[in-house]
Structure 1
Amino acid sequence: MDPVIIAGAGPVGLTLALALARQEVPCVVLDEGPGKDEQRLARTAVLREDTAALADRLTGLPVAAAGFRWAGWRSMRRKQVMRHITFGPDEAAPVHLPQHVLTGALREAIASERLIKVAVESRLDSIEQDDSGVTAHTRGPRGTWWRGSHLVGCDGPRSTVRKLQDIRFPGRTAVERHAVATLRTELPWPGEALLHRMPPWRTSGPSAGEVTARPLADDMWRVDWLLPPGKDLVTPDLLVARARETLGGWNGGTTPSYELLDTGVHTVHHRLARRWRVGRVFLAGDAAHLLGALGTQGLDEGLRDADNLAWKLALAWHHGSHEGLLDSYQVERRAVVAARLRAADQSLPVLRAGGLRSAVPGSARGHDALLTDGHLGRGPLGAPGAYADSPLASPRAESSVDIGTAVGAQVVDVRVTAEDGSFVRLRDRMGRGALLVLLIAPGTGVWERKHWVTAGIMPRLAAAVTALPQHAELLVAEDYPGAAPHTVLLIRPDGHLVTALGGVRPADLYEAAEAALGGPRATAEAGAHTS
C-alpha cells in the first residue's frame, strides 16, 4: 500500500511522520528546504506537559530535558505581584525550548526510522485525488511524482496544500505584535516565567508596557515586548534600548551584564481554515489554524493535531478507510481551536483597553487570571481541549460511571501494570494504535501479577478485551482520581477517555469501543484492503 505523504518538515509534520511510523505506517515527508533547520534562539516553543511527553515518547530522546521546565510563574502589575505560582517536582509545568531543538530531535529520530523517507528540496506544486489514493508532484532539483494513500498539509501559514484544495482561511491579521530578544543574563526570579503589565518605567500605556520573560536552558531568557498597534519599524537600537531599560527596571535601576543572542519581531494572526479535510487530503498545524495572542501556543495545538490524526490515519491505512473516523479529526480538532480563538478574541478588547474599563475594581486581577490561563495552559484560553461532543462519543450506558476525568478529556498519567507485569506510566502506552482498557484494582501493585491475573474479574475482563473490534491493551492501576475499585476505563490511542464503566460489562465495553472507532463498519469497508 502507498505511504502517507506529508507536506512540510516543521515540528508538526515531523511529529506526524513519527507518530504514523510508530504504528507501522510508511510516510514520505516533502521538505522544501535542505533538511536542516535555522538555529534561531528567538523562535521558541512552550509545550504543555502532555505535548512534551509526546515528543519524548516519539523520539526516544529527553526532549523535555533539552528545554527548560518552568520552576514557577509570576505576574506583576506596576510594582505589585498579582500572582505567584511555584511548580513542585511532580506538578505539571510548561517546558520552554528553542524550536530548532525540537525539530532537531525529531529529525534525529527520523534518521533511523525505516518507514520514513524525507525528500529534501521538494516543493509541492500539484495534487490529484482518485478513489484509491493521492498523486502529488514536486518541483526542484529532485522534482518528481509521488503516490500516496493520503496527503497531509503541515506546510505552514502559506500552505500550498490549502491553496491547491481551494480552502478558505479567514480570520484577523496582526492581532498582536511583539518585539523579541533572547538574552543570556540573570534575573531576580531564577527559573520562573514572568508577565509584567504596566511596568513603572513605561508610561506609554498598558499595551506598550507589557513584557513577558520566559526562561530557557543555560541562563537564557526570551523576552517579549508587546508593541502598540501599527507597523512601526522595530530597529536593533530600539530592541537594545528596551532590553537595557527592562533589565534595569527589574534589577533596581542597575542594568546587569547580559549577552544579546538573537532578536526578531513576532506577529500574531488569528485564522481558522474552513475545512481540514477534502477527501484524502488533510490540514494540520499552522496550515489549518493560526493563534497565539494572550499567551496561547499555536505549536502546542499543532502537535495535538498530529496526535489526533495519526491513529485515525493508521487505522484507515491498515484496515481500510472508515469515513466516520476520518471525519472526526476535523470535527474534534477544529472545534477545540475555534473555541480557543473565540475565547481570545472575546478577551482581547477587554485586556488591551485602557481608560475606565481598566479602572473597574477587581478588573486587574480578573485580567491577570485570564492571561495566566493562556500562558500556563489553563481555562478557556489554554487548557487542553476535550472532545465531549465528538462523533466518536458513545451513548451513556447503564453501567457508565463518573470519574475525575470527563468523557472526551485527556486521562491522568498514573502508574499502571502492563500485560507483561512491568510497571509503566499510562502515557507511555499511548500512540501505538491500540485502545487502552484500564482496570482500577487496589492491591495489584503489591502482589505479583501471577497471583491476581487469573483471579476475580480479570479473566472475564481479559476475554472482553480480546473480543473488542480493534486491538486493545489491558492495563491495571492501583487507583485513578475519582474512580472506585473495579472501574474500567476505555481510552483512545491519543489518551482521551471514551467511557468509564462500573465493573466488567462486555456489551457496554464493545459498544463504546465500536463508537470510538467511528461506528460499525459497512460491509464494503470491512472487506477493504488491509495492507
Structure 2
Amino acid sequence: MSSAPTPTPLELSTDVAIVGAGPVGLMIANYLGQCGVKVTLVEKLDSLIDYPRAIGLDDESLRTFQAVGLADAVLPHTTPWHAMRFLTPKGRCFADIQPKTDEFGWARRNAFIQPLADRVLFDGLQRFDNVKVLFSRELESFEQSDSAVVLNLKDQNGRGERLNARYLIGCDGGNSLVRRSLDISFEGKTAPNQWIVVDIANDPLGTPHVYLCCDPVRPYVSAALPHGVRRFEFMVMPGETEAELSKPENMRKLLGKVLPNPDHIELIRSRVYTHNARLAGRFRQGRVLLAGDAAHIMPVWQGQGYNSGMRDASNLAWKLAMVIQGLAADSLLDSYEQERRDHAKAMIDLSVLAGHVLAPPKRWQGTLRDGVSWLLNYLPPVKRFFLEMRIKPMPQYTKGALITAQDSASQVGKMFIQPQVLTEAGERVLLDEVIGKHFAIIAWGCDPTWGLSAGQIEQWQALGTRFIQVLPDVQLKAASDAGKHVIRVGDSTGRIREWFAHGASSIALVRPDRFVAGLAIPQTVGQACDQLILALKALPHPAATFVASKVA
C-alpha cells in the first residue's frame, strides 16, 4: 500500500520575515508596518509569552515606543522615576540611583510589566494590513541567496509552509536557531549561580522602588512594580534546584527573609533564571540579521537586556525600511552592526559589574565594596557620577550612517534631546511629535533650507525629511521669513538653545532614530547634507519621491 503523497508546502511571500514575537520583533514589525513595508512575524508559540520577565524600561525605550505611536498606550503599565537602591548586609543604603534627567522626553528609569508592554506592541500591529503574525509556526530551516531568504516553516498540524522574504531578522532569543544555523559564535560567560524570581500580586510590602540587598548569605532583590505586583529575586545556592525551592515549605522559608507573614501572599509565578553575558560574533550575515537576545544577552542587574533590544530595533528598522523602499543601498545595513555591537558589549560589561556589586564572587570583595561605598559619602562629585547613572555608557556612534566627527567632544553620534516645543498652532508637544518617523534638519534661529539647493531640498524631501526652525517661542508670533518647506517651533524650555550653545554649530542633521548624524552652519549645511547622503548609501531611485509621500 503506497503512502499518501506529501502535501505541497504553502507558498507565502513578504518583504521582511521576523522570527520571534518578543518585544524586539514586535517593535521592529511596528516600525516597518508604519513605513508601509510588508512584514511577516513568525512565532513558534501559540500566543505571546504571559509570564513576567524584564521590569526596567528606560527613556530611550519609551522614545522608541513614541516613535511607533504607542507611548501613551504603554505608560499606564509603568512606574516613572523608579529608583534603584543598593543595601549593605546591615540594611544601610550605600547607593541610591535615581537620576532625574529627562533630556530625551521621558523619565530615565521606569518600572514596567513586560507582558502588558508586549501586548501593547502586538495590538499596535492591528493598525497595519501589511503586517501578518503567524503563531504556532516552527522554523525548521532557511536558506538565502543574493536576492532572497526562504524560510521552511511547519504549522501546528505539521503542514509545511515556505516563506519567501527579502530579509530575515532573527529575534528568537538567546538560544536563537537563526544564529546557530548561520554558525555565528556566541561568546561569553554563564554565571555560576542561578536566581529564583518570585512575582506576587497585591504587593505585601507596598514600599516603592527596587532594593538590591547585598546579603552575603543569600543576596536578594525586592522590587515594586506597577499594578500592585512585587518581585523578589533570591540567589540559588549550590545544590538547590527549582523543584526543591518551589515547594511550599522552602518558598515560605525564602519569603520569610523579607516578609513578616510569608503564608499570606498571592503568588503569580516563580521561575529560576541563569544569568548569561554573551555577544554574537556578528549581527549580520548576508540577508539575515540578528537583534535582541539573539545578538546579545546580559545579566539583569542594570535592567538593560530589554532596553538594549529596543536600541537594536530603533537602529535597524529605519535602515531596513530605506533599503526595502529603494531609498538606500543594501550596504546601509552594515552600519547596524558597526553602531550597535560595541555599545551592546559595554552594557554587558556594566551589567556584570553591577552583579558583582550585589553578589561579589569573594567575601573580601564585599568588605571592600562596603568600605568604598562609605567613602563615597565624602566625595560628592564621585558619588553623583554613580548615583545619577552617568556610569551608564550612553550610545555614541563613531562610524556608520553618519558624518564622522573630527572632534571627540562633538555631539555627532549621540542622541538628540527631546524637550517640549510650542507649535505655530499653539500646542505644547514633545519634539518628536513634530518630526514623526522621519529625518530632520533642525536649525536654531535660522532657515534650515537657506544653504541648500533646490535639488538638495527635493532629495531630502524624498527621504521624508522635516525641515525645522527652532525659535524663542515669543518669535512665533512674527511672520515667517523661512522657506515654504520649513516647520517653525518655539523653544519653550530653552533646552534646544542651550544644546546648540555648547558647540559651534547651529544646524543638526538628525536620523529617524533621533541620533545626530551631522552638524553644520547655514554656510556649510549643503556640504554636510551631501556627505550624509553618501554615508546613508542613499540611491537616486526614480520612485523615491513617490514612496516617501506614500508612507508619510
Give the aligned partner of residue 318 of structure 1.
325
Which string of whole-angstrom CA distances, capped at 9 and with x for unpartnered residues, describes residues 136-180 of structure 1?
Answer: 110123531111111101111221211222222222224542211
1: CA distance, partners of 2:432 / 2:192: 36
Query: Is 1:21 equivalent to 2:11 in the alignment?
Result: no
- 310 and 417 in structure 1: CA distance in 2 versus 1, 3 angstrom threshold: farther
Aligned to 1:445: none
Q: Which residue does the alignment assign to 2:457? A: 466
Q: Relative to structure 1, is the Cα distance of residues 305 and 459 closer, same or farther in structure 2, using a 3 angstrom cutoff? A: closer
In terms of mean alpha carbon deviation, does 146-155 or 320-329 score higher? 320-329
Cα displacement (A) at 1:313: 0.4
Deviations 1:55-91 (A, max 9, x none): 2442534202222224533332122122335576967
Match of 1:270 among 269, 277, 285: 277
Partner of 1:216: 225
The alignment partner of 1:246 has SS state of coil
* Cα separation, 2, equivalents of 1:32 and 1:229: 34
> Does the aligned pair in 2 maintain the 1:311–1:494 contact within 8 Å?
yes
Aligned to 2:32, the other structure's residue is in SS state: helix
Matches within 5 A, 1:164-175: 164-174=181-191
Equivalent residue number for residue 149 of structure 1: 166
Partners of 1:379 and 1:152 in 2: CA distance: 32
Gap regions ≥5 residues in structure 2 = 1-12, 471-490, 548-552
How far 1:335 moved relative to its partner?
1.2
Q: 1:455-505 CA distances to partner (integer Å, 9 max, x unpaired)? A: x64661676772555431112332424313981111111011122334452
Q: After alignment, is 106-115 or 258-267 more displaced?
A: 258-267
Give % identity.
24
Query: How many angstroms apart in 1 are the aligned matches of 2:59 and 2:328?
Result: 32
SS in 2 for 1:191: coil
- Distance in 2 (CA, whole Å) between partners of 1:155 and 1:374 is 36
Query: What is the identity, as a one-letter code, of the residue corresponding to 2:179?
Result: R
The question of whether the paired residues in 2 share the 8 Å contact of 1:74 and 1:84 is answered with yes
Q: Is the 8 A contact 1:440 1:487 kept in 2?
A: yes
2:63 paired with 1:53: yes
* Greater alpha carbon shift after TM alignment, 353-362 vs 292-301: 353-362
Distance 1:482 1:222, change over 3 A: same
Indicate if the aligned counterparts of 1:28 and 1:117 stay in contact, CA closer than 8 A. yes
Q: Is the 1:14–1:106 contact (alpha carbons within 8 Å) kept by the matching residues of 2?
A: yes
**Matching of residue 31 in structure 1 with residue 21 in structure 2:** no
The change in CA–CA distance for 1:302 and 1:431 in structure 2 (over 3 A counts) is farther
- CA drift of 1:37 comes to 2.5
Question: How do 1:169-208 residues align onto structure 2 when only pairs under 5 Å count?
Answer: 169-174=186-191, 176-184=193-201, 190-198=207-215, 206=216, 208=217
The aligned counterpart of 2:115 is 100
* Alpha-carbon shift at residue 383 of structure 1 (Å): 4.0
Aligned position for 2:364: 356
* Secondary structure of residue in 2 paired with 1:106: helix
Determine if contact 1:247/1:255 at 8 Å carries over to the other structure: yes
Deviation at 1:123, TM superposition (A): 1.1
AA partner of residue 75 (structure 1): F
Query: Could you give the per-residue CA deviations for residues 177-222 of structure 1, whole angstroms, max 9, x where no partner exists?
Result: 2211112455777322222222xxxxxxx2x432222221232211
Would the alpha carbon gap of residues 349 and 96 (structure 1) be closer, same or farther in structure 2, given more than 3 Å must change?
closer
Give 2:5's aligned residue.
Answer: none
Summarize the Cα distance change of 1:337–1:421 in structure 2 as closer, same or farther, 3 Å threshold.
same
* 1:273 shift after superposition: 1.1
Residue 439 of structure 2: aligned partner: 435
Of residues 455, 463, 468, the one that matches 1:475 is: 468
1:89–1:83 Cα change, 3 Å: same
> Which runs of structure 2 are paired with 1:118-133 in the superposition (5 Å)?
118-133=133-148
> Aligned residue for 2:475?
none
AA of the residue aligned to 1:393: L
Shift of 1:49: 1.6
Q: 1:260 to 1:346 in 2, by over 3 A?
A: closer
- Residue 429 of structure 1: CA displacement? 5.0
Under a length normalisation based on structure 2, what TM-score does the superposition of the two structures give? Answer: 0.78
The answer as to whether partners of 2:33 and 2:125 remain within 8 angstroms in 1 is no
Conserved? CA contact 2:415–2:516, under 8 Å: yes
RMSD of aligned Cα (Å)? 3.6
Deviating more after overlay: 309-318 vs 89-98:
89-98
1:83 equivalenced with 2:95 (yes/no) = yes
Rate the CA distance shift 1:229–1:490 in 2: closer, same or farther, 3 A. Answer: farther
Q: Determine if contact 1:45/1:297 at 8 Å carries over to the other structure.
A: no
Amino acid at match of 1:474: F
Tell me, in whole angstroms, the C-alpha distance in 2 between the residues paired with 1:501 and 1:187.
56
Say if 1:498 and 1:512, in contact at 8 Å, map to a contact too. Answer: no
Deviation at residue 426 of structure 1 after TM alignment: 2.1
The answer to whether residue 351 in structure 2 is matched with residue 340 in structure 1 is: no
Q: Single out whichever of 217-226 and 79-88 deviates more from structure 2.
A: 79-88
CA distance 1:229–1:276, shift in 2 (3 Å): farther
Shift of the 256–166 alpha-carbon distance from structure 1 to 2, 3 Å rule, reads closer
Q: Given residue 126 of structure 2, which amino acid in structure 1 is its aligned partner?
A: A
Q: Distance in 2 between matches of 1:22 and 1:158?
A: 30
Provide the C-alpha distance between the structure 1 equivalents of 2:376 and 2:267, rounded to a whole number of angstroms. 31
| Structure 1 residue 513 corresponds to structure 2 residue 536 | no
Q: Secondary structure at the match of 1:50?
A: helix
DSSP-derived class of the 1:342 partner: helix
1:100-143 CA distances to partner (integer Å, 9 max, x unpaired)? 11121111111231110111221111212222222111012353
What does the per-residue CA deviation read over 1:494-518, in whole Å, with 9 as the maximum and x for residues that have no partner?
A: 0111223344523333134225414
Q: Secondary structure in 1 aligned to 2:396? A: coil
Q: State the match for 2:291 in structure 1.
A: 284
Q: How many pairs are equivalent?
A: 489
Deviates more, 1:331-340 or 1:71-80: 71-80
Residues 18 and 25, structure 2, Cα contact 8 Å, conserved in 1: yes
Using the alignment, how far apart are the partners of 1:230 and 1:332 within structure 2? 42
Residues 511 and 180 of structure 1, relative CA distance in 2, 3 Å threshold: same
- Counterpart of 1:299 in 2: which secondary structure? helix
User: What is the CA–CA distance in structure 2 between the aligned matches of 1:241 and 1:301, rounded to whole Å?
Assistant: 35
Q: 2:307 aligns with which of 300, 310, 319?
A: 300
Which amino acid is 1:494 matched to? D
Q: 1:528 to 1:112 in 2, by over 3 A?
A: closer
Range with bigger deviation, 466-475 or 343-352: 343-352
Contact 2:206/2:224 (<8 A) preserved:
no
In structure 2, C-alpha distance between the alignment counterparts of 1:178 and 1:345, rounded to whole Å: 15
Hey, what does 1:201 align to over in structure 2? none
Contact 2:98–2:109 (Cα < 8 Å) also in 1: no
The corresponding residue for 1:114 is: 129
